[in-house]
Structure formats: C-alpha cells, structure tokens
C-alpha cells in the first residue's frame, strides 16, 4: 500500500516543474522548521521574491554530494578545518549535525548579486551548469565567490537528515536533478511552527511534506 506522500508524487513533481513551491517540515525534536522549496530548474525572480517575503529565511541553493564533487567544491567545515586560523570555529550546532554550507557565489552576469533578479540568475545558471560536461571549468569561469547565493551540499539521508538531504532525496525520487532552492519559514522572531506552516500551505494551495514521509519513500 502506498504511503500518503506516494499518492501525491505526480502532483508534487508537476508543481515543482511549474515553478510552484512545496513546504517541507523536517522532524519533531530536530530543527522543527518548515522550509519553502522550489525546483532550481524552474526558478524565477518571482520565486526569489516569494521566498524572501513569504518565507523570510536564508535563501540557499541545494545540490547533492555527487554534483558537488563534479563541480569540485567541498563543505565549508572542511575548508575551515584546513586553516589553523579558523579551525576552532568548526562546531556542531545544537541540533547535532555539521552545517551543509559550502561556498557563497554569484554569477559573473549579475550586477550586485542581491536583487531577486540577480539571485534567480545565479541559481538558474548553477542549475544549467549541471548539464555541461565542462561544469568543473565553467563553474570557475562563470561564477565568483564570495557572493550572495550560499550553496548547500547534501550528505545523503544515511548520514544526515536535514532539509538539504530531504529535498535532494525527494528530487531524486521524482526523477529530477538534485538541484533545489530552499528558505526557512519565519514568524515574529522565531521559526514558523509546524501547525502554522501547515495552515499556510493549505491556504495557498501548496503541498505540505514531512521529513518522515520522505524517509518512508526510501525504505
């Protein structure tokens, strides 16, 4: 028998490809955060505007570990560990996992990098880069760092169960590239509660997904 999420897979895939977001909640007892999630292949400046005004958290570009390796980029914690001046800054957050952050980049084709249009341009070009056989070299030619788009790298669900891993794994199940855009949903100085995130999703016609449902897909 299919679980609840499996019955919505086709609709989730359709919404993401049309540039419509879904809302993904991680787990009770972990971050307990809901993220607004777009597919990077359908990103637009309007998507960035929605993330900025309706979600409010940090807008990040997410890729899976294999694609990160093909681009030749590493986790920021590893880069910091290699530098004695910064290695003591590497600590585990209260929720237990090392952060997924890698480099922060801009496309060379943007102006300042921070506008909705500029961030959409950087993200869309990062996504398109994954189709190129020369992506390693093109990444170094077409982007610069530091920039305004943080890249998050998935460690895979077996190693970590954060939003980064949840959304790239969901993309894999959907037959899409592990190339997503996420931002935490905030509310009056704190993270938006699970119940309020569900209400928001229902009000706006967005599909609400829990991390435990995504894990069920891979059992």
Query: At residue 87, does pLDDT exceed 70?
Result: yes
Q: What pLDDT, on a 0 to 100 scale, did the predictor assign at position 13?
A: 96
Q: How confident is the model at residue 153 (pLDDT cuts 50, 70, 90)?
A: very high
Q: Match 């037959």 to its residue by tokens.
A: 175
Q: Can you say whether residue 45 is alpha, beta or left, with left for phi > 0 and alpha for psi between -120 and 50 degrees? A: alpha
Give the list of residues 6+ apart from residue 135 with CB closer than 8 angstroms, or none: 70, 71, 129
Buried b (16+ CB within 10 A) or exposed e, 25-35: bbbeeebebbb
Q: Is the pLDDT of residue 165 over 80?
A: yes
pLDDT: is 1 or 95 the higher one? 95
For 6-217, CATH gives 3.90.870.10
Helix (H, G, I), strand (E, B) or coil at 79: helix
Return the DSSP state at 190: E
State the CB neighbour count (10 A cutoff) for residue 104: 16
97 vs 204 pLDDT, higher one: 204
179 pLDDT band, cuts 50/70/90, is very high
Model confidence, pTM: 0.94
In this prediction, residue 1 carries a pLDDT of 40
Which helix or strand (DSSP H or E) is residue 153 part of? strand 143-153
- In sequence order, the β-bridge partners of residue 60 are 182
Please choose, from the candidates 217, 218, 184, the residue with its C-alpha nearest in 3D space to the C-alpha of residue 3: 217
For residue 3, name the pLDDT band (cuts at 50, 70, 90).
low
**Residue % of the chain over a pLDDT of 70:** 99
Q: Which of 30-39, 90-99, 203-212 has the lowest mean pLDDT?
A: 90-99
pLDDT tens column, 21-80: 999 999 887 888 999 999 999 999 999 999 999 999 999 999 999 999 999 999 999 999
- Per-residue CA distances from 4 to 1, 66, 151, 208, 216 (Å): 9, 29, 31, 11, 10
């Amino acid at each position: 028998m299919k679980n609840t999420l499996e019955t919505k897979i086709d609709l989730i895939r359709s919404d993401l490809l049309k540039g419509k977001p879904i809302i993904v909640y991680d787990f009770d007892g972990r971050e307990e955060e809901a993220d607004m999630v777009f597919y990077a292949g359908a990103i637009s400046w309007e998507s960035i505007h929605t993330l900025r005004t309706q979600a409010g958290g940090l807008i990040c570009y997410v890729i899976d570990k294999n694609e990160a390796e093909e681009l030749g980029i590493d986790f920021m914690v590893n880069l910091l560990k290699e530098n004695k001046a910064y290695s003591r800054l590497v600590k585990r957050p209260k929720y237990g996992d090392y952060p997924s952050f890698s480099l922060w980049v801009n496309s060379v084709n943007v102006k300042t990098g921070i506008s909705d249009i500029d961030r959409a341009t950087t993200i869309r070009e990062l996504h398109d880069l994954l189709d190129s056989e020369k992506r390693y070299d093109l990444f170094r030619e077409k982007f610069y760092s530091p920039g305004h788009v943080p890249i998050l790298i998935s460690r895979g669900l077996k190693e970590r169960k954060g939003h980064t891993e949840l959304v790239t794994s969901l993309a894999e199940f959907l037959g899409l590239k592990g190339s997503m855009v996420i931002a935490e949903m905030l509310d009056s100085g704190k993270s938006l509660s699970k119940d309020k995130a569900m209400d928001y999703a229902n009000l706006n016609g967005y599909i609400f997904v829990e991390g435990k449902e995504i894990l069920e897909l891979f059992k």
